[in-house]
Amino acid sequence: MMTSVPIRVEGVSKTFGAVPALADVSLHVGAGEFLTLIGPSGCGKTTLLKTVAGLVPVDTGRVMVGERQVSGPGRECSMVFQDFALLPWATVQKNVEFGLVLRGVPAAERAATARRSIAKVGLGGFEEAYPVQLSGGMQQRVGLARALAVNPRVLLMDEPFASIDEQTRRLFQDDLLRLWSEERTTVVFVTHSMEEAIYLSDRVIVLSPRPGRVHQVLDVDLARPREVSDVRASGEFARLVDDLWKILRKLQ
Amino acid sequence: MVLLLRLASFALFLLVWQWAAWKPISFNFPSPLATLTAFAGLLGSGALLDATRTSLASLALGFGTAVLVGVPLGLLMGVVRPVGRVGRVYLDLLIALPTAALIPLVILSFGISVLSSAVIVFVFSAPFVTMNAYGGVRDVRPRLVEMARAFDGSWPQIFARIVLPSATPMILAGIRYGLSRAFVGLIIAELLLSPFGLGRLIMASRSMFEHDRMFATVLWTLVLAGILLAALARLESRLLRWRA
């Protein structure tokens, strides 16, 4: 169990060459909150996520993760990528150990930590498999196990389920919610899927495109734990998805 | 199945050869049997092993240096972009150049010695080894670098744990291709300039009209190259098991 930290984005702007990506974006993510960023292509949601990760420096404004002002990658955050970003030459075990290796964790300790993390995401028994031998869903489980292995305060997820088939995705979403309720990390999640945004999140932030701005914030007050009840079948769920669609449609 | 095909193709090759010798396409074209006898004779007299030792020394010196210089240079060119942009012009030139034309220059500079054969082996193989290492670095998936950066990895860590393993398949392919080029360079060098090694044995047999001996030496060179290349290919597939 770890303590999660809040994130503050304060007046952040970012331009790539002549292309404005983010314009005066401010938002707050509570400690332990599950927040989703959604919006049309070009709304800068991935860029925003990467400013929090410290991978993209901001032009103006600032990003605070807990007490730290972000000026580069830090140790509070872990990232999960749409294309998994696994090392093809390394086994599942070695992939999950990767973050721990970079942080200089001793071999025995990191092997044990990685094994626990692999078990958490339901991949026990696949430690010696190579990524190429796994399905997309399983590869992303490796990506998640790698992210969790370093015991992050903040989990940054960039369209993690976008290239996974629907059935696998639903199972994975439930597992993610279960893990999140156990680990209590702060999660910032980027997606294109309205259902996914509503199903997972405490709040959904809709960004408008070119340049990205905060357009609207949607509170999702569906009861938790959602993974055990049939939330998707409820009228409340349908209404929230519909609200989100009405907001997004006007932005197209 | 593959083994059977290999054996069959080899038998076919021997048959065609025997037929060509018996036809004959040229009066001094040796039969497989004559070649084998000559091979035994060369082996018995020690001439073949001496020549092989000399040739392999040039090869090891020239090709070893090509790998030791080429791989780090290619990596440097890939990591430091300006070096790469300047360096690749020279590499392109070296690769396009008919390298045999350099031989008189090499003789002038290094004299007629094992060293000059080694220099020519180096010139033949190093550009390919370098070019592949360079290409390997340029093919690194930027997403993997980003992932390592997100974990707060330092640049030396990213080089050792992302760039180097990513580039390894291309580096190994470059080394293997470089080795076959090194053999070409070695034999050209020994045919054209140095009075020793397998090339000299080929030239000497030819000038004495001992074509069976010449054939035996040429085939021995092929076998030697084949063995070394196969050994490298095995090493490669062991190191790259994850691709299976």
> Per-residue pLDDT tens for A55-83?
999 999 999 998 898 888 988 899 999 99
> Per-residue pLDDT tens for B37-54?
888 888 888 878 888 888
Read off the pTM: 0.85
Handedness of CA A40, A44, A50, A52 (dihedral sign): negative
Distance, in Å, from the CA atom of B13 to the CA atom of B16, rounded to the nearest integer, reads 5
User: DSSP assignment of B233-244, as one string?
Assistant: HHHHHHHTGGG-
Q: How far is CA B174 from CA A126, B121, B182, B236, in A?
A: 33, 15, 12, 11
Judge contact between B52 and B224, C-beta under 8 A: yes
Distance, in Å, from the CA atom of B11 to the CA atom of B169, rounded to the nearest integer, reads 34
| Chain B residues closer than 8 Å to A151 by CB | none
B161 touches chain A (CB under 8 A): yes
Low-confidence ranges of chain A (pLDDT < 50): 1
Chain centroid, CA B203 distance in Å: 21
> Per-residue pLDDT tens for B92-126?
888 887 777 777 788 788 877 778 888 889 999 99
Mutate to test the interface with A, among B140, B144, B152 (most CBs of A within 10 A): B152
| Chain B residues closer than 8 Å to A88 by CB | 242-243
Q: What ipTM, to 2 d.p.?
A: 0.92
> β-strands A19-29, A7-16: how paired?
antiparallel
Verify whether the Cβ–Cβ distance B151 to A74 is below 8 Å.
no
Verify whether the Cβ–Cβ distance B157 to A102 is below 8 Å.
yes
Of B153, B165, B240, the CB nearest to A102: B153
Distance, in Å, from the CA atom of B128 to the CA atom of A152, rounded to the nearest integer, reads 44
The pLDDT confidence band at residue B194, using thresholds 50, 70 and 90, is low
SS3 A70: coil
Judge contact between B165 and B140, C-beta under 8 A: no
Judge contact between B176 and B232, C-beta under 8 A: yes
